[in-house]
């Protein structure tokens, strides 16, 4: 890896939908993206789920099926290589709810917005690997309560997962790299500022300048499958 400054010991990588785009998963805010086809308020809030659970479950069942049809791409594979060989601290924080980072082999990974392939029981707080549908409101495998499973996804207004670990990793990192994210959703979008304030170098790899581009020391623009292997290898 070539960096302008001194070689970093600790790296934090934040990924977003742009990393999985070339695997065939729709992003959210690009032309033709998911939020052009669906209103956020209808499908990605706890209020939407309370109002119309069938609509929300159908939306997530469709996306859960889709991610099982696609494969990791060269960007996921490059990050997995970095994870396997980087001797210092490394944390990959993904906003993505697909499993393409781990299928490529990444291990030091935090899913801050949840995972499509898990269901969460609202009654007993258990989590379950889930590949099938939820539309038929199956009973929870742990407490047997019918209709209490929901996608294990962080909706708007809900607290993203593992924020303590995330803030700690960002506070002590030497290098913060943001890949394939628009910088539109908080608290993820604010991590670059926190990293800068803690003295880290910051690098953006994205198709185009993101909303937070001005916070990065350096930005490289292009497809993740080209930029990420070029940065890693």
| Active site residues per annotation | 113
Report how far residue 67's alpha carbon sits from residue 60's, in angstroms, rounded to the nearest whole number. Answer: 11
Q: Binding marks (x or -) toward ligand BJW, 36..75, rule CB under 6 A? A: --------x-------------------------------
Within positions 103 to 122, which residues make up the interface with ligand BJW, using CB under 6 A? 113
- Candidates 3, 9, 10, 22; binder of ligand BJW (CB under 6 A) is 22
The 8 Å CB, 24+ separation contacts for 214-220 are 216/178, 216/192, 217/4, 218/4
Q: Please state the separation of Cα 17 from the chain's center in Å.
A: 7
Cβ 176 to ligand BJW shortest distance, Å: 15
Q: Is 99 annotated to bind ligand?
A: no
Among the residue ranges 2-10, 81-89, 123-131, 207-215, the one whose residues contact ligand BJW (CB under 6 A): 207-215
* All residues at 6 or more sequence positions from 211 whose CB lies less than 8 Å from its CB, including other chains: 182, 183, 184, 189
Q: Is 181 annotated to bind ligand?
A: yes
Q: Report the side by side order of strands in the sheet with 175-179.
A: 109-111, 89-94, 10-15, 175-179, 201-206, 218-221
Cβ 97 to ligand BJW shortest distance, Å: 5
Q: Does 160 bind ligand BJW (CB under 6 A)?
A: yes
Q: What is the largest CA-CA distance in the chain?
A: 56
The answer to whether 191 and 172 are in contact (CB under 8 A) is no
The answer to whether 192 and 214 are in contact (CB under 8 A) is no
Q: Does 206 bind ligand BJW (CB under 6 A)?
A: yes
SS3 183: coil
Q: b vs e for 171-197, b when ≥16 Cβ sit within 10 Å of the residue's Cβ? A: ebbbbbbbbbbbbebeebbebbebbbe
- Candidates 3, 10, 33, 42; binder of ligand BJW (CB under 6 A) is 33
Q: Does 153 bind ligand BJW (CB under 6 A)?
A: yes
Q: Does 186 bind ligand BJW (CB under 6 A)?
A: yes
Helix axes 224-232 and 74-85, enclosed angle (nearest 10): 20
Q: Binding marks (x or -) toward ligand BJW, 212..231, rule CB under 6 A? A: -----------xx-------
Q: Which residues bind ligand BJW (CB under 6 A)?
A: 16-18, 21-22, 27-30, 33, 44, 95, 97, 113, 153-160, 180-182, 184-187, 206-208, 210, 223-224
Please enumerate, by residue number, every residue annotated as part of a binding site for NAD(+): 16-35, 95-98, 180-182, 206-208, 224
Please enumerate, by residue number, every residue annotated as part of a binding site for substrate: 60, 63
């Amino acid at each position: 890896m070539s960096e302008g400054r001194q070689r970093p010991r600790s790296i934090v990588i934040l990924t977003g939908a742009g990393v999985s785009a070339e695997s065939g998963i729709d992003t959210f805010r690009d032309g033709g993206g998911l939020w052009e086809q669906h209103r956020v308020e209808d499908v990605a809030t706890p209020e939407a789920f309370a109002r119309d659970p069938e609509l929300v479950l159908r939306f997530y069942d469709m996306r859960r099926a889709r991610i099982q049809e696609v494969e990791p791409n060269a960007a996921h594979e490059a990050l997995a290589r970095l994870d396997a060989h980087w001797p210092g601290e490394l944390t990959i924080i993904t906003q993505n709810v697909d499993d393409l980072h781990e299928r490529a082999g990444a291990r030091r990974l935090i899913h801050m917005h949840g995972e499509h392939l898990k269901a969460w029981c609202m009654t007993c707080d258990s989590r379950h690997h889930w590949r099938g549908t939820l539309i038929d409101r199956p009973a929870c495998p742990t407490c047997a309560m019918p209709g209490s499973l929901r996608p294990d996804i962080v909706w708007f207004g809900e607290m993203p997962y593992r924020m303590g670990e995330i803030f700690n990793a960002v506070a002590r990192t030497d290098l913060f790299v943001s890949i394939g994210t628009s910088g539109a959703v908080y608290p993820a979008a604010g991590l670059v500022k926190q990293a800068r304030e803690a003295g880290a170098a910051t690098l953006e790899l994205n198709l185009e300048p993101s909303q937070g581009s001005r916070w990065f020391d350096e930005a490289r623009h292009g497809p993740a499958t080209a930029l990420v292997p070029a940065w890693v290898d």
